[in-house]
Structures are given as C-alpha cells and as structure tokens.
Structure 1
Amino acid sequence: MATVIYRIRGKSSIYISLTMGRGIKLETNTGFNVNPRDWSKITSKPKQNSETNKKTFAALSKLETFIYDEVNNAQGQGQLIDLFWLKDNINKCFNRVKKTDQNLMVNHIQYIIDNANTKKIKGSNKVGLSQNRVTGYKTFKKVVEEYQKELKKKIHFHDINKPFVDRFTNWLMKKKNYSTNYAGKILDNLKTVCLDAEKLEIKVNPYAKQITGFKEQNSERLIVTLSFEELEQIRTANLETEAQENARKWLLLGCEIGQRAGDLLRLTPDNLRYKGNRIYIDIEQQKTGKAVTVGIIGPHVIEIVENNFPYPISQQKLNKHIKQVCKLAKLEEKIEGKKFDKKTGRKKTDTYFKWQLITSHTFRRSFATNYYKKIPTAVLIGITGHSKESMFLEYINRREDKDLNADLFMQFYETIHQDKEPQLKVIKNASNQ
C-alpha cells in the first residue's frame, strides 16, 4: 500500500516521500517552502496560522490526494512508478509543465521540424533536411502523441529508460500491429531525437544511447521484382489510357536507372546530359544527398527520354496506374506478398496476383536484382547510392558471394595478360644432371 508523507529538508524546502512497500521509497522536492517554526509535527504539513501557510497546506493536501489517485491508475495500467514518475506527477498536479519545455519529447521533435532548413546533415557539409525526412519526423511526432494518450501523461526525455522502451515496443508491435520494419524504424527515430536533444544539453536518460531498432530477418522478407522478360511483356502490352502509357514510361525508366521513386519522379529533360553519342542522367538523391550519374543504354528507354519524356505524376497515382499496366501485361502469376488491407489499415501477407503487388519501389529493386552479378557490385552501388555492399545485398535479399571478387580478379587478370607473349623457360635435361 502506498503512503505519502511530507517533511522539511534543508532550511525550508518541503519534500514529499512516497513509500510503496518492499523497501521502495521515493523522495523529491515539492517546490514549496515553509518556515520550520510553522511546521506541524502532528499533520506533517504547515500550521494554518497565516494566509500563505493555509495555501501551502491546501496545495499539499491536493497533491497528496492526486498522488494516491495516480498511484492507483499507474498500478492498474502496469506503469513503472519511479522518481521520474513522481516528479512528473507533481508538475502535472500543479500544471507546471510549459508548452515550451524542451524536456518534453514532442516539443523537441517540433523543434527539429521547425529548424529543418538549417539543420546540418550528418556526414556532409550540407544543411537542410529533405522533405521526406521532415515528413518522417512529423509522423513520428504523431506516434508519440498517440502513445502519450495511451499513458495519460506527457513523455519527458528522462522517462526513456529500459522499461519505457520495452513497453513502447510492445505497444507498437502488439496493440498498433505495426510491421517489424516500421516499429524498428520508430525506435531508430526515438534514439535519434534523444541524441539530438542531448547535443543541446537537454538532460536525457542515459539508457537512450542503448536503444536499437530492428528489421525483419531476410528469411521473412517478401521482395517483388520484375525480370527482363516481364519488363518486355510490359513494354509490348496493349494499354487503354494515356495515364497508363505515362505510367509505363516511368516504370521502364525506373527499372533502368535504379533510383528511389521520389528522385525518379522529380526528373525532367533538364536532367539529361550528352557526351558524344551517349546519354547520361544526373541526379541528386534526396535521401542521401549524393550526386549520382546513370548512363542510359536500352534503346526503348533512350526513345522515352529523348522523344516521349513522361509527364509529372504523384507517387500515389503512379502506384495505382502501374498495377493496371501490369495487369494488362498479364503478370498473373500467384505469389506470396504483402498488400494493404483497408479493413485493418495494415499490410496483410497472403497470396496475390503479381500485378497486385507492383509498386514504384519495385523499380529500384528490379534494377538492382536484374543487374546483380552481371555488372560489378561496386558499380551498382555507385548508381543506387547504397553506402555499403552489405546494405545493397540486404536490399535485394542476397547473401554475400565470397567467390565473386576472386572470380572478377581472375577475369581481369586473364584479360590483362592474354596478349602477352609466353616466356620461355630453360628446363635442364635430366641426363645432363
């Protein structure tokens, strides 16, 4: 059973002591003061011998009742009751937390959003977060605000201890039913925001540095790609509308240059560059800030970029139209995949027609998968913008081929030396020895 007692510490500070049994005793400053001569040992509160002392007495009585109620609520919901909890509820009782308090998680997320244009990008000399990253922070803020409603309390940076992270993870996975990858990404964002706050000398729970996100195991991932043969089916399919024709152009171009959908759909003829009889597309990737150049080789794609460049379209509309394009191309193989379920608001794993699973993200994966082992991985990474080979291989769900580099070395070695004349060796005759 919980017990609340007040006592004086120092010269005049009134402290609250919350005893929870099993040796658990929490104590912190209430923010009130009293002259020790006006302290009643009988009530453990100020004597009501002045207007100020009467107000303090009433405030402490209010806090006592509030803490008892919140202890019952917290125990009923399985919340951790610790010193941070006690301090937070004292502030909550007297509405002491200001909206500008940067110790609140949501306020610092908003601070990042508000200062996105001047925020330095890690690992570069550039400033300004991409629009996608800003959108990610806005989405993360909504998740935190929803979890605050679940907890019925505002989340401070000092709350981010291991029990908090464990409960938050369980809420994301079990109650919200988020995918493994999305829940892991939210935890990555949680850690990023905590570390960013710490740089501004905001006090953050030390456990925040130990937060780790997670991803699906490779064996659990269902990756959909379009083979060269299927791309030819799409290229030669009879379509019905101009919107479908336009979507097909974006699809064929996307599968040839291996860029993210956001970067692909920003392209215009101004991105083209000619060098002799070759065509290049120069791109600055929004997510990484990397400058990437891709050479256009396929005759049908050269025709698209030179004479029939696709007109702008939103990613949402593109995803709608390319499904119809792939349906008309008769991509009717039944495969396992994940598709958005309107009833649950989540992706559902099931068996679908392949055309139902094609999205703009399929383009980039198809490029990486189709050219893997046909072109050196280092060249492909330079085009896709992955920072490491391990990330590229994970992206296409392939294991590292330990023989690949050795095979390439031997091929290059043979090419280098194939035109050299063989050198004569003098071999001693055994009979002359």
Structure 2
Amino acid sequence: MAYSFFLRGTKDVKKIYISITHGSDLKVIRPTDFKVDVNSWDKVQKRMKLNEVESQLKNSAPIKIQRQNAIADFNKKFSDFEQDFISYFNSLLDNNRLTETKLVEFFTGQNKTNEIPTDFKSFVDYYCDMNIGITESTKKVYKRTRNLVSGFNPKLRMQDIDDRFKKDFGSYLDKNNYQRSYIRKTIGNVKDFWKYAKRKKINVSDDPEWWELTKDFPDLAKDLADDPYLTWEELEAIRLVVFDNNYLDNARDWLLISCWTAQRVSDLMEFTFDKIITDEKGSKFLPIIQEKTGSKITIPLFQEVESILNKRDGNFPRKISDQKYNDYIKLVCKEAKITDMVFAPKYRQPVIVNGKTVYRKIVGFFPKNEVITSHVGRRTFVSLFINNVDLDSIRKITGHTRDKMVEVYNRLNSLERAEITKAKFRDAGFE
C-alpha cells in the first residue's frame, strides 16, 4: 500500500485528503475530518506548522506559545488518525477483506464511533477538543464559562439552553456582581456552544437564534464609565516633572513613548534601538510584530520619541515588568499632579461574593492617577488624534484591522466631542 495526504479546497483553510493505492487495481481518494490553513501546512512532513509570520515571533511570545500548543495538539490527533487508518487497512489485508467498499467504510464511519456528549460541561470540553484552531487563552475563557454555568446548574444539558436559561443564568450572574459586559460575553459563549451543537444535529431549542444580548443585558448606569486617557496638558506635565528616583524617570519615558506609539506594554518593552530604520529623508521608523495578534506594523517615531532617545544616547528606556510599569506610571502621574477625581473603573478590587473575597472591576470616583493603567498609551493616542487624522492612518499604527476597533479606544466624552464638532463648523464659516 502507498498513501499520501494533500490539501483540496477553494479557501485558505483547506480540507486534508488522503490518496490510497494498492497494487494496480485499488485507488481511493477520500476527505478526512481535518482542515488546515494552507500557509500552516508542511508539504514535506504532511503536518501542521507555524506560518511565516508566527515563525518570526519571539519564542516567549504568548501567541507563539499558544499556536505551538495548538499545532502539537492537531498533529497528535492527525498522527492518531493515521495510525488508526494503517491498523484498519492491515486488518482488512490480513483477513482478505480488502475492497474499495470496505476501505471507504473507515472514512464514512469514523465519526459514528465518536458519541457526542449532550451534557453542557462535557460538551464544552468536546467543543474545545474538536475545534483545533482555538488558542489556549480562548480555551481558558470557554472553560471559565463552563465552570460558571456548572456552578449555576451542574446538570444542564445542551437541550436546556433556551430563553428560560438565559433569563435565570443572567439573573444569577447579576446577583453575583458581574459586570453586564461580562454577562453578555459569557452568555455569548454559551450561544457559540449552542450553534456548534446544532451543527452536530443535537436536538436543541431554537430560542438562542433570536437572543439580542445587548438589549437583554444593557449596561447599568453605575457601569457606564470609561478608562481615562491623558490630555495634551497632562502629557506636558508628565514631560516636565523632575524625579529624584531613576526608576520613575525610566517609567515616565516609557509612558510618553506609549502615548506616541500606541502599543501594548508587551510590545512596548521589546523596543530596541537596533530595530530602528531610517529612510532617505532621515525619518525614523520602528518595524514590529505585535505579540497579541502577530500583525506586522511599522511605527513612525515622532519627534517626542526621538527626543527621549536622544536623552538616552539613542537607546530606549530600561525594560521593566508589566506589573512594575503599571505601578510606576500611577506614581509618575501623581508626581505630575494628575490627581483630579474622575469617574472611572478600578481593576482587581476586593469584593465579597457569597461570603468569599473575589477580585473584580469596580466603578466610582477615584484620583485619576490611581486608575491609570498600561493601556492608557493606546487610549491616549487614539483619543488625541482621532479627530485630526484619518482612521486608516491610525489603524496602521495601532495594528487594528477595523475602524470599529479603533473607535473602542476613543475616550473623548460627549461634551469634548461636541466641542470639536462645533469648532469644525466654525472653521467652515458657521457659528
């Protein structure tokens, strides 16, 4: 017997086929249950691999580690399938039952031997196992959803997911002080599982088809608070403040760089001077591959960033941990007198739920420096430039693929937006 695997399909994600020949009379070509992106298929080894962009990521990059784990999982299942096929073929050969019909039965019958669970907890595990492309971080989110639902109803079946479940489970999460946005996300995950169950021909309710979670679980007034951004005046105050401690000066420079490059802290701390490129006009740029998404972008280094590099003999500030960066920039803003009370969320605050201390986001009035986090750079960049620069140019720096995602980072309040709109009409000659 000789066999080989190949890809077939019109889309980037193609199905893996197997071609089998035995002697001169037997030739069978059948699809398997496996699919793979054409850029992630090793034509020699006949296995999944990292694509070109993923291969260039640092070995410590979370997205690369997640992909390597997913690929290892895929290849293990694919190898098991291959061994099962070889064993089946040899058994037919040994028992003199090798025919095209019997050979095809292996492929048409392989799913029938795998019974799909219908209890919710087991089904979520089945869903995660069967969907090869799911990253490890997404699996963790799904398993948190599984555990929350199991805490609400440990005997829930897929058939029980209907309007009554949505109402009762939503109320349960509400009573346990979960944010409405988290409730929508969690029940949205349940709907994803329901869709998969429906595709697998499990007898489920049609109710989730019509769920409108934004209407069913709208944000409460107490939750309507945005993470803050830094104004031009505050950036100038941060730039001018003098520190006695080197670690705060170091954190201050990183904070300013983040506001002018719009990068996440995981990418920010990987900036090094040797990656900088200069064009024929003398303008400097920094090409990076974003760790979270694997996106390739090239960031223009504005004058404010160049002045920090000049201050440091051409180098970026000293690398520090994410946690220290979060802690230090709060102190930087405090020293810069950015301490006005603002209505904003504060993260990882202890609250009592069912007699236990858990850590949640709470919303209230806090000194602004206390609610500054590492993401303030992206929010500040978008909020300050969104009304002066086209969204496409902003996306090329933030790395977002859609305008809607950029808008998420716009933290101008309604009055600020109205004032900008009025100024534009005034500039056009209308008072």
TM-score by structure 2 length? 0.58
Name the SS for the 1:349 alignment partner: strand
Partner of 1:220: 224
Partner of 1:103: 118
Correspondence list, 1:67-216, <5 A: 102-110=117-125, 118-119=132-133, 129=135, 134-151=136-153, 153-174=154-175, 176-196=176-196, 198=198, 204-214=204-214, 216=219
Partner of 2:325: 318
Shift of 1:177: 0.7
Deviations 1:353-411 (A, max 9, x none): 1111100121111000111222223311332244443443343156799x98xx89x99
Shift of 1:271: 4.7
Instruction: Give the letter aligned to residue 148 of structure 1.
Output: S
Residues in 2 aligned to 1:306 and 1:110: alpha-carbon distance in whole angstroms: 53
Shift of 1:102: 4.2
Shift of 1:295: 0.6
Change (3 A) 1:338 1:102: same
Change (3 A) 1:350 1:387: same
Shift of 1:346: 2.7
Residues in 2 aligned to 1:267 and 1:110: alpha-carbon distance in whole angstroms: 39
Residues in 2 aligned to 1:189 and 1:367: alpha-carbon distance in whole angstroms: 31
Deviations 1:229-269 (A, max 9, x none): 21122122233444333322321121111133444344444
Deviations 1:53-75 (A, max 9, x none): xxxxxxxxxxxxxxxxxxxxxxx
Aligned-residue CA RMSD in angstroms? Answer: 3.6
Deviations 1:196-237 (A, max 9, x none): 555566665433444444364899233311112211221222
Change (3 A) 1:178 1:273: farther
Instruction: Give the letter aligned to residue 195 of structure 1.
Output: K
Deviations 1:110-142 (A, max 9, x none): 4565678x51xxxxxxxx73xxxx334314423
Name the SS for the 2:190 alignment partner: helix
Is the Cα–Cα contact under 8 Å of residues 172 and 183 in structure 1 kept in the other structure?
Answer: yes
Structure 1 residue corresponding to 2:370, chosen from 356, 374, 387: 356
Structure 1 residue corresponding to 2:339, chosen from 325, 332, 337: 332
TM-score by structure 1 length? 0.57
Residues in 2 aligned to 1:136 and 1:355: alpha-carbon distance in whole angstroms: 32
Change (3 A) 1:284 1:302: farther
Change (3 A) 1:189 1:330: same
Q: In terms of mean alpha carbon deviation, does 140-149 or 314-323 score higher?
A: 140-149
- Name which one, 1 or 2, has greater alpha-carbon Rg: 1
Change (3 A) 1:319 1:160: same
Residues in 2 aligned to 1:369 and 1:376: alpha-carbon distance in whole angstroms: 12
Aligned residues: 294
Partner of 1:424: none
Name the SS for the 1:307 alignment partner: coil
Change (3 A) 1:285 1:190: farther
Partner of 1:368: 382
Shift of 1:314: 3.5
Partner of 2:241: 237
Change (3 A) 1:136 1:217: farther
Deviations 1:88-129 (A, max 9, x none): xxxxxxxxxxxx96434444544565678x51xxxxxxxx73
Is the Cα–Cα contact under 8 Å of residues 400 and 406 in structure 2 kept in the other structure?
Answer: yes
Is the Cα–Cα contact under 8 Å of residues 383 and 411 in structure 2 kept in the other structure?
Answer: no
Correspondence list, 1:12-51, <5 A: none
Q: Which structure 2 segments of 5+ residues have no match?
A: 1-114, 353-358
Instruction: Give the letter aligned to residue 389 of structure 2.
Output: I
Partner of 1:279: 284
Residues in 2 aligned to 1:384 and 1:136: alpha-carbon distance in whole angstroms: 22
Is the Cα–Cα contact under 8 Å of residues 187 and 211 in structure 1 kept in the other structure?
Answer: no
Mapped pair 1:299 → 2:313: no
Instruction: Give the letter aligned to residue 239 of structure 2.
Output: R
Is the Cα–Cα contact under 8 Å of residues 248 and 322 in structure 1 kept in the other structure?
Answer: yes
Deviations 1:245-301 (A, max 9, x none): 332232112111113344434444465333232222223344544332221112344
The percentage of aligned residue pairs carrying the same residue is 27
Instruction: Give the letter aligned to residue 257 of structure 2.
Output: L
Instruction: Give the letter aligned to residue 140 of structure 2.
Output: K
Q: RCO greater where, 1 or 2, for CA within 8 Å and sep 6 or more?
A: 2
Residues in 2 aligned to 1:383 and 1:376: alpha-carbon distance in whole angstroms: 12
Is the Cα–Cα contact under 8 Å of residues 255 and 329 in structure 2 kept in the other structure?
Answer: yes
